[in-house]
């Protein structure tokens, strides 16, 4: 029996991190955009979701739930946390598990593959510095502070580089 993506992440397989983003990025992004008003908040929560997925990958048990369900439930918790942080109480009918699970079951992986190809093209056009900082943030799960320390850059520069990179990716994705 082959291991799931999350089981491979828990075992330290770096390729599984990329596969996780490729497989679930579209789902997580669409959920974040559906419930958060601004693209910036959605970008932040997507990053938080992936960081939590990678840090909690070892708690995934395929005997209890499917991997997509596990990912969706972590996304749901992070989205609710973000809504609370923003001072907006989530309406339970907005984020009810049944509705969320319906969206997950109807998730179109072929659309994700198309979006992934577009994203790779857009990311390749970024400055190397932006690529490095985004890679460390998204793929490796480093916090802004960690990236600042590892690259010996001011924290504000790291935050600005990430934000500008994500904004450029989003803008270019809409044009491609």
pLDDT tens, N- to C-terminus, the chain (176 residues) = 689 999 999 998 888 888 998 899 888 998 888 888 788 888 999 999 999 998 899 999 888 888 888 898 899 888 888 888 877 544 444 444 445 545 555 555 555 556 667 777 787 888 888 888 887 777 666 788 888 888 999 989 998 998 888 888 778 777 75
Task: Calculate the alpha carbon distances from 114 to 124, 139, 155, 167 in Å.
Answer: 16, 19, 34, 19
In CATH, what number is assigned to the domain containing residue 141?
1.10.10.10
Do 138 and 126 form a contact (C-beta atoms < 8 A)? Answer: no
pTM: 0.51
What does the block give as tokens for 157?
A: 């520069």
Whether residues 4 and 67 fall in one domain:
yes
Give the contacts of 22 (CB within 8 A, at least 6 positions apart). Answer: 112, 113, 116
Whether residues 122 and 83 fall in one domain:
no
At 21 the three-state DSSP class reads: helix
CA distance 171 to 162: 14
Whether residues 17 and 103 fall in one domain:
yes
Whether residues 11 and 97 fall in one domain:
yes
Whether residues 153 and 87 fall in one domain:
no
- Into how many domains does the chain fold? 2
CA distance 3 to 19: 13
Q: Give residue 157's domain range.
A: 109-176
Whether residues 12 and 91 fall in one domain:
yes
In CATH, what number is assigned to the domain containing residue 88?
1.10.1740.10
Whether residues 80 and 128 fall in one domain:
no
């Amino acid at each position: 029996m082959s291991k799931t993506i999350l089981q491979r992440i828990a075992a330290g397989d770096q390729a599984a991190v990329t596969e996780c983003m490729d497989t679930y990025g579209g789902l997580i992004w669409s959920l974040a955009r559906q419930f958060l008003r601004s693209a910036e908040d959605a970008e932040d929560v997507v990053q938080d979701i992936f960081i939590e997925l990678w840090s909690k990958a070892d708690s995934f048990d395929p005997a209890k739930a499917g991997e997509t369900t596990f990912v969706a439930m972590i996304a749901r918790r992070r989205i609710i946390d973000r809504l609370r942080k923003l001072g907006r109480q989530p309406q339970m009918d907005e984020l009810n598990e049944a509705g969320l699970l319906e969206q997950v079951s109807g998730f179109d992986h072929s659309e994700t593959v198309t979006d992934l190809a577009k994203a790779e093209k857009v990311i390749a056009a970024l400055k190397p510095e932006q690529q490095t900082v985004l890679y460390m943030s998204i793929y490796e799960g480093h916090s802004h502070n960690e990236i600042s320390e590892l690259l010996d850059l001011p924290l504000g520069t790291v935050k600005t580089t990430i934000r500008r990179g994500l904004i450029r990716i989003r803008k270019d994705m809409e044009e491609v």
